[in-house]
Amino acid sequence: MSTDFVLPQLGEGLLEAELVQWLVAEGDAVELNQNIAEVETAKAVIELPSPFAGTVSTLHHAAGDTVEVGEVLISFDVAGAPAPATEPVAATAEPEEEKATPNLVGYGAAPRKGARPARRARAARSGDARAAADTAVLEAAPHDAIVEPPPERVRERPRSTPPVRKLAKDLGVDLALVPASGENGLITRDDVQMYADRVGAVPAAAAAAAPARRTDDDARVRRIPIRGVRKFTAAAMVKSAFTAPHVTTFHTVDVTETMRLVASLKADRSLADHRIGVMAVAAKAVCLALGRNPSLNARWDAEADEIVEYHYVNLGIAAATDRGLIVPVIDDADAMALPELADRISELALTARSGKTPPAAMTGGTFSITNFGVFGVEAGTPILNPGEAGILGLGSVARRPWEHDGQIALRDVMTLSLSFDHRLVDGAEGSRFLVDVASILAEPGRAMLMR
């Protein structure tokens, strides 16, 4: 029997995905949980496993198509699958209980029709693997590190099928303006054609034949579609910038002792499996300083009219990737020793480079770090991740003349840039946090005095 597989919800707030490529073809036999396609959400590229064992009968979309959650993606011929109902259901009949669909590994059970999707628990992230790659991908992140999704969509995408969307595009019709006559608000071909006839829409072909009014549609201009991670990041940046009152403060610190510590740890054979760098030391310093300054590890809950302070640190580390900026999160970073924290940063680097960071790994952060110093930039004004009270930017480490022990000497110097939500954090609190981080980087041994 033929069985359809619809695109599941791949993360909270993710209502669509772009089909990157098929990993199977029509006629292929597939096994349960065999990867069948790669799709790109607003957060990451994800491989979809098959929820059925059978034969691929129909691929309903081509690479590059945008597919909505709940839209049929692929059909299978599955032995023993129930045949689709052919008898109409009377309007007065009681609705039957929906049959369970096979579980899609990694994403939980499919949501029931009409039910509000339940929030999934974050997937556990292993800390056993040891990454040998350089962590530059995590350190090479622009200062405006934002990936948290807007909690609501301003405008829902009209429900329609790919052929109908193509017809609307050819006729120059905006689907958002077309009244829907189909079941559950589905826009049909007739709806589009009737709207086009009524308003006198100009077909795309006719518009193309008209004299060009623009001069930038030639080879001198490159047009890049705004989609995926970049579209998601842009929306989150705008939301954050115009919701939370940002304040940024700076502090330049002598990090010579931190650089010496890093060099000595790298030379220690017992720590050869751990890549402990400046980012890891800074992350540990942030965790310690947040314990002393809880207002920086909090969020503003406008609906409840409350400030929520966290007694744990889920630390976001900004990562620049080929597909855009993401901020994977290290859960309970404050409970980790320095080598373990360094290992997690290395693991995030490998996953981010491959584009396989799961959506669940980029939610739940309470504070973030971004490093624009690898670009040679001394300081910046980081933009907050929505829902977080602070973000720390790490500037470049430069060898400069500096006052030390009453004399001028060449020292390793770094500028720290802290942006915070002024609703949650006063200037004095922000300054104390920044000084705490700086004191650890200036004299790492001071960490022994903090709790």
In the DSSP assignment, the letter for residue 357 is -
Location of structure tokens 């309007």: 91
- Dig out the tokens for 345 from the structure: 């940063």
Q: Are 371 and 140 in contact (CB under 8 A)?
A: yes
As a whole number of angstroms, the distance between CA 186 and CA 193 comes to: 14
As a whole number of angstroms, the distance between CA 381 and CA 383 comes to: 7
Location of structure tokens 């909505």: 68
As a whole number of angstroms, the distance between CA 451 and CA 287 comes to: 10
As a whole number of angstroms, the distance between CA 176 and CA 155 comes to: 9
SS3 303: coil
CA-nearest of 399, 391, 384 to 416 is 391
- Dig out the tokens for 204 from the structure: 């795309």
By CB atoms closer than 10 A (0-12, 13-18, 19+), residue 318 is buried
Largest CA distance in the chain: 91
Contacts of 62 (CB under 8 A, 6+ apart): 19
Amino acid at 401: P
CA-nearest of 245, 13, 242, 192 to 119 is 13
- Dig out the tokens for 161 from the structure: 């099928």
Q: Are 203 and 231 in contact (CB under 8 A)?
A: no
- Would you name the residues annotated as active-site residues? 422
CA angle centred on 391, ends 389 and 397, rounded to 5°:
160
As a whole number of angstroms, the distance between CA 138 and CA 350 comes to: 9
Amino acid at 310: Y
Q: Are 370 and 382 in contact (CB under 8 A)?
A: yes
Q: Are 408 and 272 in contact (CB under 8 A)?
A: no
Tell me phi and psi for residue 170, to 5 degrees: -65, -35
Location of structure tokens 């310690």: 288
